[in-house]
Amino acid sequence: MKPTKRKELILAVFGLIGFWWLLSLIVAQDILPNPPEVATAFIQELIHGSLIADFSYSLFRVTAGTLIAVFIATPIGLLAGQFKFFDRIISPITNILYPIPKVVFIPLIFLFTGIGEVSKILIIVIILFFQILVLVKDSAHEIRPELISSVRSLGAGRRGLLWFVYLPACLPPIFTAIRQSIGTSVAVLYFSELFATTHGLGYYIYMQGSTLFNYPAMYAGIIAMSFLGIGLSSLVNFLERKICPWKFER
């Protein structure tokens, strides 16, 4: 991260903390504790509470769902970009299902797969799958024909085109889709962890706020969930710079 951007980020963090502190003084109720109270609760929950364990469960679910979605959607998108007959099969299905808000599938997923780990991971897979599929397929379609012809003139077959043309062209859209979907995935994960589970940040936040009325600990859970989203986004940015260096050459 450049020094200027790092400075802006630090100023933004302090600005948000200052606004939060001022708002807590105006509200002056237990439902909005000030930042030092939440920071103290956060440290206590890390040391003596279940915050680390719940964070680990949520991290596993998001990571597993993301990896599964990438490994399923990427080959399908590449095949649709290479073969017109396969695209004619995939595109109508995608056009019907992609605009539907994926949260409506949560009750169906619980009905068919139960309330265990599979259902929570599957929800994230469905959210990411269509994002990645659409972007990969569109990116494969947009590859310039002269580029494909030049690689073919060097003796590349279907496999060569896949590895040296289609896949490198589709990697940045894959990272873009993941980055765009992380926030939605974490939000949906929160709702999925409210149902018949005793682990996860969603369960932790609900229990601390609605059952135990421990509001500083509840906000500590919210901060932990924010760290989950920020950390995953930063990891995606880091991997994109390592795997797709040509995108950042300028």
Whether residue 26 is contained in a domain is answered as no
Whether residue 23 is contained in a domain is answered as no
Whether residue 108 is contained in a domain is answered as yes
Whether residue 171 is contained in a domain is answered as yes
Q: How far apart are CA 175 and CA 135, in angstroms?
A: 10
70-120, pLDDT tens digit by residue? 899 988 988 888 788 888 888 898 888 888 887 788 888 888 888 788 888
Q: How far apart are CA 31 and CA 27, in angstroms?
A: 9
Whether residue 27 is contained in a domain is answered as no
Give the structural domain span for 67.
Answer: 37-248
Q: How distant is the alpha carbon of residue 200 from its chain centre? A: 16
What number of other Cβ atoms are within 10 A of residue 194's Cβ? 14
Whether residue 104 is contained in a domain is answered as yes
Output the six-digit token pair for 247: 């995108």
Residue 201: which CATH number?
1.10.3720.10
154-209, pLDDT tens digit by residue? 676 767 777 777 778 888 888 888 888 888 888 888 888 887 678 899 999 999 99
Whether residue 213 is contained in a domain is answered as yes
Quote the number of domains for the chain: 1
Whether residue 201 is contained in a domain is answered as yes
